[in-house]
Structure 1
Amino acid sequence: MKSLLSWTVLTVLFLAGLSATLAPGAVLGDLDGTQRTAATIGAGILSLVAGVALFRREPLKSFLGSRPVLWFLFLFNLTVAAIAPFALDGATGIGMAIGMGLVSLGAGTGLLQGSGKRRTRRA
């Protein structure tokens, strides 16, 4: 019961933070200028912290660490990182490319770590 409650709370916090990051005016009401920026940053931090805690739990951790998922994340995010600067204008495209490149790099690191573990098991 305690595990289900903590999973529910983390999921709600993650989804609320994600919603407030994407549309702070719709979620938090009429905001202007600095308030909107502060709400977006705060909601982004909330969703990041709740998301990391949520994805470290066992069912999602083993799924996200599987080789097919890591290969998908690596290839998809690398493709988006390569296309983003051409598809989006200016700083938005560059920021998207950097963010997707970092996710691709993380998935690639996970793939390399997984191959090292397999080699030591066979030896």
Structure 2
Amino acid sequence: MFRENSRSPQETTTATPSRSDGEEVEEHSTVPRNPSPTPKTNSEVLGSMDTLVSLAKVQRDQAETFRMWAAQFQTFKNNVMKFMDQTSDVLQKNEKKITTLQRVVRKIASDMDE
């Protein structure tokens, strides 16, 4: 996620100077991080638009991450519920076996007493 965010400002900076072909070489050689201040007429607006675009990309990435986490959590929850159901089924079967064995032992004990 961080690599994409670090790439997105570079993509916007390469897109901005490509409009003015003569200034592209100078901007990349002198100031690679801040090409938007060079066009003096729209520098504040372009800077704010770049910020908004990068924030929108971050929000989309976060939303996708949360959707992925929610799907994984739902899968995990379903697996836990299945495991609990299986465990309770096994416990119920074992409890039935125990009660049956207790009845058999009582019957044998009563038969031995007679």
TM-score for the superposition, normalised by structure 2: 0.36
TM-score for the superposition, normalised by structure 1: 0.34
Give the greater-gyration-radius structure (CA): 2
Higher helix proportion (structure 1 or 2): 1
